[in-house]
Chains A and B, each alone.
Chain A
């Protein structure tokens, strides 16, 4: 189906929703402040602390196995210093996306959604390291937000989307193909519209739009390819929206695999069987992380 037509349809669907969540004012301000080259960690921390929920989530993320500090970090200032200003923008982005969609009333359970998202984030980071991608956190964040459009479909187009889910249950049809077929658009175009509304940096907009066709990416095809592969692996290894989608793949037929092998020929030696088994071992960590982020009520030291 024509990508432009699907994008037009996505714009109409997203535009028709009056109460589309916004990302927190504080997050937008933090992201803007970071454009100022002279901004200090102190200023950012002071602003972030005005939003306790966001602060708590930042602390959960920073202490998660993904960032792995040697000792638990309990103050926001230390967390920001540990991360470096470069990554605060990304963390602000992630935590605000988590905050924007926290009503568990969609066709896909919110926990299942975030388990898949954080799983793809984690695996993206692992693949990024294997291919020598320069910014591991960027890969992690891109993985976390890649399926943004799915939450919209699940919450705002609940019934038609449920029909899509019913159709693919136990049938070897990819979710994205069934969406195009039955809804006239997919979570990629919907996600792109939302990300643009929220002024996400272009590189993340591209991943959201191209994570099923990394070959179409122009800004950073390697990043889209990383997220595409991570998505495939998570979908076959228990981080799969509770098994709603039946897919199968062979790496040698995947465009993402060719893109990444071109960037890093050593990747051809990947022990994909062991990679899957290790991923199985990491699933409980991902579930625990998601549970801890969504049950984070404790307050944090400045």
Chain B
């Protein structure tokens, strides 16, 4: 089903204002196909009807289903390339230099919606490559948390399908991934850097114990939260960071208007939030 440009823009603005996720014009076809499914499920006959449904009291529930469709809950290794490049090129060396001066050689990274572990293990691979250079004699701690115990078990297991590993650059793939009968098995060397725990981001009493991180990642989760919860959770992330630490969201997400303490730092192809 094709959506007119006007309908697309109306939906895009509505979703952006509500969830903080921006649909690029190039994703129009994708939104069309996912919208068709939701229109069938809700028996709405036109895009306008569906838009009105989203704006009605039932919309709070429906927007979650729509977000489920459009984020597809998929994740894979080396997903956000501009973010990783910024980290390697500038942000990591900066933090390492600052901490070296203080004689505090420990790096802590948190993948706050770690799902089956791809994001956390991607960081582990990148940092492992620097064990003999930038991060020589450094202690590295990577923590992955998720609300869902099934995905945590998968993350701990460290066995992936071809889709998950398709973006891993060769240099890492050769070293850290072993193929066995169509399954891709992560090397124990990478696994030992990461711990996974169950955590509900809404649970204040647990959030306050997640301390002293240099980098926090939280992709495609805050879009499900209403503004008040989003502000609260983001404030926790802010508190959980070391001074000058960075917080990252997903590729088309925005925290505009959610927290005025973070400073937006732009880099090629993306941006991060600096404490």
A residues bordering B, Cβ < 8 Å? 170-172, 232-233, 235-238, 240, 243, 246-252, 271-274, 276-277, 280-281, 284
Contacts and interface: CB of A to CB of B under 8 A. Distances in A.
B257 A271 contact: yes
B263 A252 contact: yes
A238 B86 CA distance: 15
Interface class of chain B by DSSP = mixed
Residue of A238, A243, A277 ringed by the most chain B CB atoms within 10 A: A277
A274 B16 CA distance: 9
B267 A248 contact: yes
Interface in B6-38: 16, 22, 24-26
Contacts, number: 65
Contacts of A274: 16, 22, 254, 256
Contact of A250 (B22, B256, B263, B269): B263
B174 interface: no
Given A252-B263, A274-B16, A246 B269 contact: no
A243 B86 CA distance: 13
A273 B271 contact: yes
Contact of A243 (B25, B263, B268): B268
B23 to A, nearest CB: 9
Interface in B230-265: 252, 254-257, 263-265
Contacts of B257: 271
B274 interface: yes
Interface of B: 16, 22, 24-26, 86, 89-90, 252, 254-257, 263-271, 274
Contact of B269 (A237, A252, A271): A237
Contacts of B252: 277
Contacts of A250: 263-266, 274
Q: List 4 A-B pairs, minimum CB-CB distance, nearest first.
A: A273-B254, A248-B267, A277-B22, A172-B90
A257 B158 CA distance: 46
Nearest to B272: A248
B256 A236 contact: no
B24 A273 contact: no
Given A238-B269, A247-B267, A248-B267, 19 more contacts: A171-B89, A235-B268, A236-B269, A236-B271, A248-B90, A250-B265, A250-B266, A271-B254, A271-B256, A272-B264, A273-B22, A273-B254, A273-B264, A276-B266, A276-B271, A277-B22, A281-B25, A281-B26, A284-B25
A246 B90 contact: yes
A251 B262 CA distance: 12
Contacts of A243: 268
Nearest to B256: A271
A51 to B, nearest CB: 36
